């Protein structure tokens, strides 16, 4: 471990450093063990970062942190009457990542780092890249929406992109556990708040951009500029990228970054490959996935008849983003084929369950109008019977989406069950009425119900689905709680399905 004196000398050379206040020279001989931004995590040897949040100001807890063993503080405004050294930074929250990077020896410089950003497809794309890396012989860690993996153990993620100190701790663990690489989702919130400071990437993927989080960013243009910070601020020399050539915002990145960035696209059955773009053509499609022909930027066949074990033609785009990035990093076609064909099912991303009565249920995180449209369109193509949609909308989030969700569901599904999805402080019945308000004129045979209790809604759909029907349960994906104003209740769509299946059919072969 570093002595505080040595640590402060190193950190003083970093951007956003302003000054250091030392009131007692004897404190500089203490050892530094980690970086923390909440007092519950502070231990003897911690650097405590005073983050100003929307509800609390970490400066108010500085004395508590010192009593718990903090050997130094990182502050925006110096605090009187505290004897431990204070590192003054213009932005402690973003500086936190650099504190961790310096303390742990810049682990991102010792790993092959890949970031994935965009509105939709980040999680699936990271899973694909990680599987390809593993098959090419690189032990790979993961930081994303569902899990964090340090190369040995998995733990549930509490947010897509952790705070800067958390990212650096996980990167250290990956390095120490023998990982050669890390694949990370980069959320717009994380990028805007500087949580990726201290990270340097070898490669990155931009999937697409559609309206989301505008309550935070204010406009689609600001949302895009948050995403592009990954490429502007955090890339190593000689980096490579992959950007969706059929996305308006992806085209902008291709134009602006020139030789570093590779375009990718999914082309039609009769459409020729595009010069200068990695292209995929779907040659077969069904409930078990699809088959792709993959062409390199010289329009030559790169991988012939590649099995992709995922439903949804938009997953062909995710596959092409992963393939374009990995090939640009020098990974061979054989490793890419093995990685894609053997990738695990992604929790909450078109996660598929087949039951003995020939009813198929699919769990997906789709929670925006665009996401729901893509999921239902994909499932409609492989549904032999009626298509059911079970969904709601989160409270205190993008209220303008609600009627649009109703319009999408009533246009594409045959049966719609509107239910609860993290109502927070809002009345879930009010949310349901707002969704209903957008429903288009029903087609022949269409029916819909409002069943607020999510467990009852799922069971109603599964009880009433006929052989050949497909039930899409969307909005929450792998989430493990229902969030109310004053509490979080344990709830998983997957466990509801498993419990229903056990009660109806007894043990099932995929029941774990």
Query: Residue 332 is part of a domain; what is its CATH number?
Result: 3.40.1190.10
Does residue 494 share a domain with residue 365?
Answer: yes
Does residue 278 share a domain with residue 134?
Answer: yes
pLDDT in tens, 93-131: 999 999 999 999 999 999 999 999 999 899 999 999 999
Does residue 117 share a domain with residue 78?
Answer: no
Q: Please enumerate, by residue number, every residue annotated as part of a binding site for ATP.
A: 118-124
pLDDT score recorded for residue 212: 72
Does residue 113 share a domain with residue 99?
Answer: no
Q: Is 511 inside any structural domain?
A: no
Does residue 325 share a domain with residue 361?
Answer: no
pLDDT in tens, 378-420: 999 999 999 999 999 999 998 999 999 999 999 999 999 999 9
Banded pLDDT at 306 (limits 50, 70, 90):
very high
- Domain total of the chain: 3
Rg, Å, the chain Cα set: 24
pLDDT in tens, 251-273: 999 999 988 999 999 999 999 99
Q: Supply the CATH number for residue 49's domain.
A: 3.40.1390.10
- Mapped onto helix, strand or coil, the DSSP state of residue 383 is coil
**Domain boundary, last residue among 288, 309, 341:** 341
Q: Please enumerate, by residue number, every residue annotated as part of a binding site for meso-2,6-diaminopimelate.
A: 397, 421-424, 475, 479
Mean local confidence (pLDDT), 34-60: 94
Banded pLDDT at 210 (limits 50, 70, 90):
confident
Does residue 210 share a domain with residue 139?
Answer: yes
Distance of CA 118 to the CA centre of its chain: 9
pLDDT in tens, 175-207: 999 999 999 999 999 999 999 999 999 999 999
Does residue 361 share a domain with residue 335?
Answer: no
Banded pLDDT at 54 (limits 50, 70, 90):
confident
Banded pLDDT at 357 (limits 50, 70, 90):
very high
Q: Which two tokens stand for residue 245?
A: 């050539």
Cα separation of 329 and 336, whole Å?
11
**Beta carbons of 96 and 37 less than 8 angstroms apart:** yes
Look at residue 215 and tell me whether its pLDDT is greater than 80.
no
**Domain boundary, last residue among 103, 121, 144:** 103
pLDDT score recorded for residue 511: 65
Q: Where would I find the H helices in 106-208?
A: 122-135, 164-176, 188-192
Look at residue 474 and tell me whether its pLDDT is greater than 70.
yes
Does residue 149 share a domain with residue 99?
Answer: no
**Domain boundary, last residue among 103, 129, 149:** 103
pLDDT score recorded for residue 443: 80
Domain that holds residue 395: 351-505
Does residue 73 share a domain with residue 117?
Answer: no
Does residue 117 share a domain with residue 96?
Answer: no
Model pTM score: 0.91
Question: For residue 294, what are the contacts with CB-CB under 8 A and spacing of at least 6?
Answer: 278, 279, 280, 301, 302, 303, 304, 306, 320, 323
Q: How many helices (H) and strands (E) does the chain have?
A: 16, 26
**Beta carbons of 409 and 419 less than 8 angstroms apart:** no
Mean local confidence (pLDDT), 455-475: 99
**Beta carbons of 274 and 245 less than 8 angstroms apart:** yes
Banded pLDDT at 214 (limits 50, 70, 90):
low
Compute the mean pLDDT over every residue in the chain, rounded to the nearest whole number.
Answer: 95
Query: Terminus-to-terminus CA distance in the chain, angstroms?
Result: 42
Banded pLDDT at 302 (limits 50, 70, 90):
very high
Does residue 367 share a domain with residue 334?
Answer: no
pLDDT score recorded for residue 53: 84
Class of residue 369 by CB neighbours under 10 A (exposed 0-12, middle 13-18, buried 19+): buried
Does residue 408 share a domain with residue 259?
Answer: no
pLDDT in tens, 332-350: 999 999 999 999 999 999 9
Look at residue 240 and tell me whether its pLDDT is greater than 60.
yes
Banded pLDDT at 323 (limits 50, 70, 90):
very high
pLDDT score recorded for residue 508: 85
Of the candidates 412, 462, 404, the one whose C-alpha atom is nearest the C-alpha of residue 434 is 404
Q: Supply the CATH number for residue 358's domain.
A: 3.90.190.20
Strand pairing class (86-89; 17-21): antiparallel
Look at residue 512 and tell me whether its pLDDT is greater than 60.
no
pLDDT over 90 for what percent of the chain?
A: 89
Mean local confidence (pLDDT), 245-253: 96
Q: Is 512 inside any structural domain?
A: no
Q: Which two tokens stand for residue 403?
A: 């009627």
Q: Please enumerate, by residue number, every residue annotated as part of a binding site.
A: 39, 118-124, 160-161, 187, 193, 195, 397, 421-424, 475, 479
Of the candidates 404, 494, 427, the one whose C-alpha atom is nearest the C-alpha of residue 458 is 494
């Amino acid at each position: 471990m570093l002595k505080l004196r040595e640590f402060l000398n190193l950190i003083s050379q970093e951007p956003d450093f302003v000054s250091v206040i030392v009131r007692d020279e004897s404190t500089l001989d203490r050892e530094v063990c980690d970086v923390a931004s909440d007092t519950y995590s502070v231990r003897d040897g911690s650097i405590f970062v005073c983050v100003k949040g929307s509800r609390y100001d970490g400066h108010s807890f500085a004395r508590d942190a010192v009593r718990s063993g903090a050997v130094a503080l990182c502050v925006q405004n110096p605090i009187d009457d505290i004897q431990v050294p204070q590192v003054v930074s213009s932005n402690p929250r973003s500086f936190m990542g650099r504190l961790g990077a310096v303390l742990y020896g810049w682990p991102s410089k010792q790993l092959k780092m890949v970031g994935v950003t965009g509105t939709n497809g980040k999680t699936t794309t990271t899973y694909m890249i990680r599987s390809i890396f593993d098959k090419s012989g690189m032990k790979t860690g993961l930081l994303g929406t569902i899990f964090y993996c340090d190369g040995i153990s998995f733990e549930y993620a509490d947010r897509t992109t952790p705070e800067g100190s958390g990212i650096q701790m996980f990167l250290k663990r990956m390095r120490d556990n023998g990982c050669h690489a890390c694949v990370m989702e980069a959320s717009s919130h994380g990028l805007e708040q500087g949580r990726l400071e201290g990270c340097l990437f070898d490669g990155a993927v931009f999937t697409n951009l559609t309206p989301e989080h505008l309550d935070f960013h204010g406009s689609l243009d600001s949302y895009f500029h948050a995403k592009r910070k990954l490429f502007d601020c955090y890339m190593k020399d000689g980096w490579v990228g992959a950007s969706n050539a059929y996305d308006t915002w992806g085209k902008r990145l291709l134009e602006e970054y020139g030789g570093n960035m590779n375009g990718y696209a999914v082309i039609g059955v009769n459409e020729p490959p595009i010069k200068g773009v990695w292209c995929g053509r779907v040659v077969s499609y069904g409930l078990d996935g699809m088959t792709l022909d993959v062409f390199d930027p010289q329009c030559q066949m790169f991988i012939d008849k590649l099995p992709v074990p995922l439903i949804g033609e938009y997953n062909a785009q995710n596959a092409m983003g992963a393939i374009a990035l990995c090939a640009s990093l020098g990974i061979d076609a054989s490793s890419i084929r093995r990685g894609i064909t053997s990738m695990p099912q992604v929790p909450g991303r078109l996660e598929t369950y087949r039951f003995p009565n020939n009813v198929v249920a699919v769990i997906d995180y789709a929670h925006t109008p665009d996401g729901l449209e893509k999921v239902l369109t994909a499932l409609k193509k492989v549904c032999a019977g009626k298509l059911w949609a079970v969904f709601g909308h989160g409270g205190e989030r993008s209220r303008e989406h609600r009627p649009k969700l109703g319009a999408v569901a009533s246009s594409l599904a045959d049966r719609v069950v509107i239910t609860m999805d993290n109502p927070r402080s809002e009345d879930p019945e009010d949310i349901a009425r707002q969704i209903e308000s957008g429903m288009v004129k029903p087609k022949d045979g269409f029916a819909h119900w409002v069943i607020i209790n999510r467990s009852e809604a799922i069971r109603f759909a599964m009880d009433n689905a006929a052989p050949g029907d497909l039930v899409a349960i969307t909005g929450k994906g792998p989430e493990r709680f229902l969030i109310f104003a004053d509490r979080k209740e344990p709830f998983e769509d997957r466990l509801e399905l498993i419990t229903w299946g056990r009660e109806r059919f007894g043990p099932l072969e995929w029941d774990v």
